[in-house]
């Protein structure tokens, strides 16, 4: 009785052991396991069953012909055969198989490794399973348009066999079918693992004028539109990323298109911090900063003072020196300008800027520089019906009223043309309203001239010395 119980216990343990070892593998199955041993010619892999798998070391060389794998590395291989307690593995099914394995690969949709030999009419000639030549139509090489077919010659790729005829002499393969299948599997897994708002790592695969495509899972691409690439609107896609670069993206959503295709919308900028959230920590009204003109409008120019932070320089804030009517005459996109921050509205996300305040107001302190009665030399800006406009310095213009011109002894002042140099005296200064009233320089009528001391002769200049001589001559 005891012996019988021991037999039943042993049988149960054996059955449990077999259950734990996983299901039996069949040719064509894909196995993912760790390398447990590396020999001179073979590599042994844990298949997850009670039998380890063996693969030819030569079959696991990289594209440069080097063996770079180590014990403990995980590899993904196909079951080539399973008999007599041995599981043979290979990087692709039927690496050296005959017509029977070709048919098996086609019927079971098992991927096979192939090398593009050359281009031909309508597609490519591909060498598969050792020495079999197959035809891959151009439309079946990829699930997107092939732009440079010649660049694929010599490349090793994985294909699905779609037709085997004439005892293996007529073989048609498709890489697109395999990519579509992998893409569908990746999409299904991707949909389970991610939801809108999640941030993930992706690899840039293509750069286009309207944005970039990135791979978010094997064979699965999404689009980062140019508007979602950066908080800054002044940079082009090629200035931000390059093919092969790793980037962080936020998932915006997935939209089903025609023929079951799914469009994955992504954002690089939403994977980063919003610059408006910390704007008050970096900038404050009254500060001077340097920015870049991003665009010009009839009412002013937009200037980016930091990536994602763009403000407006209204046309009225462009210059103190002249009246600006066309902003494009003053600035252009890409130009660096110095601006003063006039205001920040975080609720409306608006920044008001001034170019003229950053350059300085020429009217500031003008009453101290041009006192009543002082004699100055200016340049005629223009003749108007109401008088003569005289520029005393850049941005500061005074007026000789028409009524004073008519009463002046030196009537030639009324005949001056724009650009002519003239001598005038300051009559009054209204700094708040930006007005300076002038009159012709007349030494005989200038009461303030009497106050000039001899000790300041050196500072009078040629005009002052001549006026002083004229007064002394009149006294004599």
Task: Let me know: does 374 contact 425? Beta carbons within 8 Å.
Answer: yes
Cα dist from 75 to 56, 69, 93, 322, whole Å? 13, 9, 15, 73
More confident residue, 59 or 84: 59
Please state the rounded mean pLDDT for residues 464-476. Answer: 49
Helix, strand, or coil (residue 73): coil
Q: What's the DSSP call for residue 94? A: T
d(CA 243, CA 235): 17
- 169 DSSP 8-state letter: T
- Stretch 400-420: mean pLDDT: 75
Mean pLDDT lowest for which of 35-39, 211-215, 361-365?
A: 361-365
Is the pLDDT confidence value at 274 over 70?
yes
Residue 450 is predicted with a pLDDT of 40
Lowest mean pLDDT among 141-155, 223-237, 349-363, 434-448: 434-448
Residue scoring higher pLDDT (15 or 113): 113
5: pLDDT confidence band, cut at 50, 70 and 90? Answer: low
Angle of CA points 433, 436, 442, to nearest 5°? 165
Q: What is the pLDDT of residue 18?
A: 47
Averaged pLDDT, 52-70: 84
What confidence score (pLDDT) does residue 453 get? 33
CA–CA dist 284, 278 (Å, integer)? 11
Alpha-carbon distance of 17 to 15, in angstroms, equals 5
* DSSP annotation string for 403-429: HHHHH-S-GGGGG--TT-EEEEEEEEE
Q: Where does 97-174 have alpha helices with state H? A: 99-107
Q: What is the predicted pLDDT for the residue at 7?
A: 54
Map 184-236 to HEC letters.
Answer: HHHHHHHHHHCCCCCEEEEEEEEEECCEEEEEEECCEEEEEEHHHCCCCCCCC
**Integer CA distances (angstroms), 474 to 442, 443, 460, 464, 470, in order:** 13, 10, 19, 16, 6
Nearest to 179 by CA among 142, 152, 127, 211: 142
> What is the Cα–Cα distance from 360 to 364, expressed in whole angstroms?
8
- How far, in Å, CA of 337 to CA of 18, rounded? 76
Q: Which of 78, 103, 90 is nearest to 171 (CA)?
A: 103
Least reliable range by pLDDT among 44-53, 71-80, 384-393, 466-475: 466-475
User: How many C-beta neighbours within 10 Å does residue 204 have?
Assistant: 19
- By residue count, the chain amounts to 476
| Contact indicator for 386, 436 with CB cutoff of 8 Å | no
Distance, in Å, from the CA atom of 431 to the CA atom of 400, rounded to the nearest integer, reads: 17
For the segment 341-369, the average pLDDT, to the nearest whole number, is: 89
The Cα–Cα gap between 302 and 288 comes to 16
Give pLDDT, residue 315: 92
The residues that bridge with 249 in the sheet, in sequence order, are 200
Task: Give me 392's structure tokens.
Answer: 């005393």
The stretch 71-94 carries a mean pLDDT of 80
| Distance (Å) of CA 72 to CA 32, 36, 211, 376 | 12, 6, 40, 90
**Model pLDDT, residue 14:** 47
Closest CA to 79 of 57, 105, 115, 50: 105
Res 23: pLDDT: 60
Parallel/antiparallel/unpaired status of strands 42-45 and 350-354: unpaired
Highest mean pLDDT among 23-32, 161-170, 309-318, 396-405: 309-318
Q: Which has more pLDDT, 146 or 266?
A: 266
- The HSE-up count of residue 150 (CA atoms within 13 Å, CB side) is 0
Rounded to whole angstroms, the Cα distance separating 461 from 447 reads 19
Nearest Cα to 293, choosing from 345, 340, 233, 361? Answer: 233
CA nearest 448: which of 370, 384, 380?
370
């Amino acid at each position: 009785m005891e012996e019988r119980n021991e037999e039943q216990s042993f049988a149960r343990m054996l059955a449990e052991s077999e259950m734990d070892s996983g299901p039996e593998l069949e040719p064509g199955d894909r196995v993912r396991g760790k390398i447990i041993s590396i020999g001179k010619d073979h590599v042994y892999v844990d298949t997850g069953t009670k039998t380890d798998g063996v693969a030819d070391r030569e079959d696991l060389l990289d594209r440069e012909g080097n063996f770079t794998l180590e014990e403990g590395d995980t590899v993904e291989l196909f079951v080539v055969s399973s008999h007599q307690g041995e599981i043979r593995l290979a990087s692709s099914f039927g690496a050296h198989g005959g017509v029977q394995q070709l048919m098996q690969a086609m019927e079971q949709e098992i991927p096979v490794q192939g090398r593009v030999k050359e281009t031909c009419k309508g597609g490519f000639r591909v060498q598969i399973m050792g020495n079999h030549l197959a035809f891959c139509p151009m439309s079946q090489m990829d699930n997107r348009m092939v732009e440079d077919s010649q660049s694929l010659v010599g490349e090793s790729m994985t294909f699905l066999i779609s037709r085997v005829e004439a005892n293996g002499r007529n073989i048609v393969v498709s890489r697109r079918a395999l990519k579509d299948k992998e893409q569908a599997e990746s999409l299904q897994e991707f949909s389970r693992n991610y939801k809108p708002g999640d941030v993930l790592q992706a690899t840039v695969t293509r750069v286009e004028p309207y944005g970039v495509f990135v791979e978010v899972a094997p064979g699965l691409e999404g689009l980062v539109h140019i508007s979602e690439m950066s908080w800054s609107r002044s940079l082009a896609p090629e200035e931000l990323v390059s093919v092969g670069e790793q980037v962080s993206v936020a998932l915006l959503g997935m939209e089903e298109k025609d023929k079951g295709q799914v469009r994955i919308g992504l954002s690089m900028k939403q994977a980063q911090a919003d610059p408006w959230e910390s704007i008050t920590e970096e900038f404050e009204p009254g500060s001077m900063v340097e920015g870049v003109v991003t665009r010009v409008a009839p009412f002013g120019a937009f200037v980016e003072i930091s990536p994602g932070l763009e403000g407006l320089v209204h046309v009225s804030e462009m210059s103190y020196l002249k009246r600006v009517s066309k902003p494009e005459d003053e600035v252009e996109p890409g130009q660096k300008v110095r601006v003063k921050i006039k205001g920040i509205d975080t609720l409306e996300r608006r920044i008001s800027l001034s170019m003229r305040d950053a350059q300085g107001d020429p009217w500031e302190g003008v009453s101290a520089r041009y006192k009543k009665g002082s004699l100055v030399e200016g340049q005629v800006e223009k003749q108007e019906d109401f008088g003569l406009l005289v520029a005393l310095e850049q941005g500061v213009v005074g007026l000789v009223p028409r009524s004073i011109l008519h009463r002046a002894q030196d009537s030639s002042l009324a005949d001056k043309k724009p650009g002519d140099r003239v001598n005038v005296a300051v009559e009054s200064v209204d700094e708040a309203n930006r007005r300076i009233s002038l009159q012709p320089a007349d030494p005989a009528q200038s009461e303030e001239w009497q106050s000039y001391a001899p000790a300041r002769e050196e500072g009078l200049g040629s005009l002052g010395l001549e006026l002083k001589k004229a007064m002394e001559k009149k006294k004599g």
